[in-house]
């Protein structure tokens, strides 16, 4: 199940597709993450097009709304045949259950569904002052992960450095999908809590999400294959 997901953070369909064309001769078809920027700019057609080219897709739209709206939206995303999508755990267990119901197709199959716990951009101070959550960030993250598990979700997005703590609370089958990946010899960019693909493997991440170390590399295919070798072996 372990895989490397490339964050296709491009502003237009054309940029995303010409980037993916570079992987034509690659021995592996990359699993691709489509985020809000690309989805809202290019619309659902970009999902259909990338899917038609044989890539698996993580549609990272982080839904957070009333349960009925989330259920209906997830029905639409499920019909797009994505492989993984997500919601904010802050939407409550009821909302996460509704998301799961909406995603489930008539034959019982569905894309993987994961939750965002606390965004990595949220500090403990901000959580306390802006969100009035009087817990440590690790308590909040593990509690939200446990709620996602109770709602029947498959896992969470988290920092690779939180993966072990979450597995301990929710079980080793509970998936951890981890951004914040950098090669040891590269720039951190704006990421703070980072680790290497090899270390993410040791810690127990199931999927790593890698953007700029691949998208901004001189040779993206070589950078991708380096991630695959270090993370999957
Ligand atoms: O370029 P980089 O490797 O930093 O990209 C990481 C990707 O993972 C981006 O699409 C970013 O939005 C996403 N992400 C993240 N941290 C989170 C959740 C998502 O970096 N907590």
CATH number at residue 203: 3.20.20.70
What percent of the chain shows pLDDT beyond 90? 91
Ligand 1 atom nearest 190 alpha carbon: 4
Residue 135 alpha carbon to ligand 1 centre in Å: 24
User: Which of 5, 7, 85, 196 maximizes ligand 1 atoms within 8 Å of its Cβ, making it the mutation to test the pocket?
Assistant: 7
Give the catalytic positions in this structure. Answer: 62
Decide if 187 contacts 160 (C-beta within 8 A). Answer: no
Residue 96 alpha carbon to ligand 1 centre in Å: 22
Q: Which domain holds residue 97?
A: 3-231
Per the listing, tokens 């998208």 go with 215
Q: How many domains in the chain?
A: 1
CA atoms within 13 A on the CB side of 233: 5
Q: Cα 4–44–19 angle (5° rounding)?
A: 45
> What global pTM score does this model have?
0.95
Residue 180 alpha carbon to ligand 1 centre in Å: 6
Q: Is 125 exposed, middle or buried (0-12, 13-18, 19+ CB in 10 A)?
A: exposed
Decide if 5 contacts 31 (C-beta within 8 A). Answer: yes
Q: What is the pLDDT of residues 8-45, one digit of tens each?
A: 999 999 999 999 999 999 999 999 999 999 999 999 99
Ligand 1 atom nearest 33 alpha carbon: 10
Q: What is the pLDDT of residues 97-147, one digit of tens each?
A: 999 999 999 999 999 999 999 888 888 999 999 999 999 999 999 999 999
């Amino acid at each position: 199940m372990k895989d490397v997901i490339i964050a296709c953070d491009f502003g237009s369909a054309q940029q995303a597709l010409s980037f993916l064309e570079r992987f034509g001769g690659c021995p592996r078809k990359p699993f691709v993450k489509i985020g809000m920027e690309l989805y809202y700019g290019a619309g659902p057609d970009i999902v259909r097009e990338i899917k038609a080219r044989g890539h698996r897709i993580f549609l990272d739209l982080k839904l957070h709304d009333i349960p009925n709206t989330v259920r209906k939206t997830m029905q639409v995303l499920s019909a797009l045949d994505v492989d993984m999508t997500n919601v904010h755990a802050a939407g409550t267990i009821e909302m996460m259950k509704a998301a799961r119901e909406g995603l489930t197709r008539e034959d019982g199959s569905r894309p993987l569904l994961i939750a965002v716990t606390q965004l990595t951009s949220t500090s403990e101070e901000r959580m306390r002052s802006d969100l009035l959550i009087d817990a440590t960030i690790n308590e909040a993250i593990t509690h939200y992960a446990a709620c996602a598990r109770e709602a029947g979700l498959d896992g969470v997005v988290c920092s690779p450095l939180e993966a072990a703590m979450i597995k301990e609370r929710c079980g080793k089958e509970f998936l951890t999908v981890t951004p914040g990946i950098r090669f040891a010899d590269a720039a951190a960019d704006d990421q703070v809590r980072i680790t290497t693909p090899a270390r993410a493997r040791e810690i127990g991440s199931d999927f790593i999400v890698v953007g700029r170390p691949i998208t901004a590399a001189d040779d993206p295919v070589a950078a991708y294959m380096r991630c695959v070798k270090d993370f999957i072996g």
